[in-house]
Amino acid sequence: MISCDKCSGRAVIFQKYSGKHLCAQHFEEDVHRKVKEVLRAYRIFGKPCRIAVAVSGGKDSSSLLMILHNLFSYRDDVELLAISIDEGIEGYRTKTIQAAEAVAKQLGIEHVVEKLEDNFGVTTDLMASQGHAQGPCSFCGVLRKGLLNKTARELSADAVATGHNLDDEAQTVMLNYLKGDVDRLYRLRPKRALAGMVPRIKPLRRVPEKEMGIYAITHNIPIDTSACPYISRAMRQEVKDLLNEIEAKHPGTKYSIMKGFDKILAREPPGSYEVIPCNRCGEPSSDGICASCRLLDRVRAEQSL
Ligand code: SF4
């Protein structure tokens, strides 16, 4: 048996980047410490606040709900609620939403489910069946993000917490570097409270993906591990494999990527991002037509060809 470096308990993980073996209790403390440090930097606590957690039913978002519950359930000034967006993907989303429902119920947290179909009159299955050039993910992602923001705002949330972990974030940063997409890189920075937009927070951005899996297992969190049938992330998968290979040889590389990225963001001149209401639906936009309306226009135009 390999022992924890902090007590005599059985180690459940070896963190190559820290050189430590940790038992279940010290591992949990380590995850909670990282999440608390990230949350402190967002500066949203200190006054009563309502956090909407975007829960898909997978290991990251369901663990996030439990972590925030573990950290805040004793506080009267922090309220949690869970939101799931149902994109309309037959045989997949129904199962993952059931898993999200189970974890919210177990923790006694209100769970709200909103459907793309009820809000936009389309489903991801429908868009996929129409064979648009860009593939279902481009539509699904934009509409889901918009609906998540709208739902959180209507439920008076002060912030939306998403389950992006360290690996997701490091991959996204590297992908945008590789594509030379500086605009997208800047869009990753924490959002201020702009008109109609609920600030987004990523409490897990310092927790490696593998550790989120271990957290879910060690806490018996009901999760669904099925993958979306439309997933197509060829380049992201290549970047993921590459980063995992480099991390194995040089532990701590993913943390270094994020540290470097945060330093770049800190140098950005302030005030370069303005938000105005969409002329059609009133949702936030940068130029008078929001991303969801622009996208639905394209879907309708392609349908009429
Ligand atoms: Fe939507 Fe693509 Fe994610 Fe599937 S993989 S849920 S289609 S964004």
Query: In order along the chain (305 residues), what is the average pLDDT of each group of 10 residues?
Result: 94 97 98 95 82 96 97 92 96 93 97 96 90 79 95 96 97 94 80 78 97 96 89 82 96 96 78 78 88 86 67
> What is the reported pLDDT for 188?
80
Pairing of strands 78-86, 49-54: parallel
Give the residue, by CA position, lying nearest to ligand 1 atom 6. 228
> What is the reported pLDDT for 26?
98
List of domains in the chain: 28-271 (3.40.50.620)
Distance 137 CA to ligand 1 centre (A): 5
> What is the reported pLDDT for 221?
95
3-state helix/strand/coil string of the chain: CCECCCCCCEEEEEECCCCEEEEHHHHHHHHHHHHHHHHHHHCCCCCCEEEEEECCCCHHHHHHHHHHHHHHCCCCCEEEEEEEEECCCCCCHHHHHHHHHHHHHHHCCCEEEEEHHHHHCCCHHHHHHCCCCCCHHHHHHHHHHHHHHHHHHHCCCCEEECCCCHHHHHHHHHHHHHHCCHHHHHHCCCCCCCCCCCCEECCCCCCCHHHHHHHHHHCCCCCCCCCCCCCCCHHHHHHHHHHHHHHHHCCCHHHHHHHHHHHHHHCCCCCCCCCEECCCCCCEECCCCCHHHHHHHHHHHHHHC
Give the residue, by CA position, lying nearest to ligand 1 atom 5. 231
Q: Write the CB contacts of 133 (distance below 8 Å, at least 6 apart in sequence).
A: none
> What is the reported pLDDT for 136?
85
Residue listed under structure tokens 């006694």: 108
Q: Which residues line ligand 1 (CB under 6 A)?
A: 87, 124, 136-137, 140-141, 228, 230-231
> What is the reported pLDDT for 287?
84
Residue listed under structure tokens 């380590």: 30
Distance 126 CA to ligand 1 centre (A): 13
Can you tell me the distance from the alpha carbon of 120 to that of 140, in angstroms, rounded to the nearest whole number?
Answer: 11
Q: Indicate the length of the chain as a whole number.
A: 305
Phi first, then psi: give them for residue 273, nearest 5 degrees: -130, 115
Distance 195 CA to ligand 1 centre (A): 27
CB-based burial, 148-166: b 16+ in 10 Å, e otherwise: bbbbbbeeebbbbbbbbbb
Report the amino acid identity of residue 154: E
Which atom in ligand 1 lies closest to the alpha carbon of residue 93?
A: 6
> What is the reported pLDDT for 259?
95
Residue listed under structure tokens 């957290």: 215
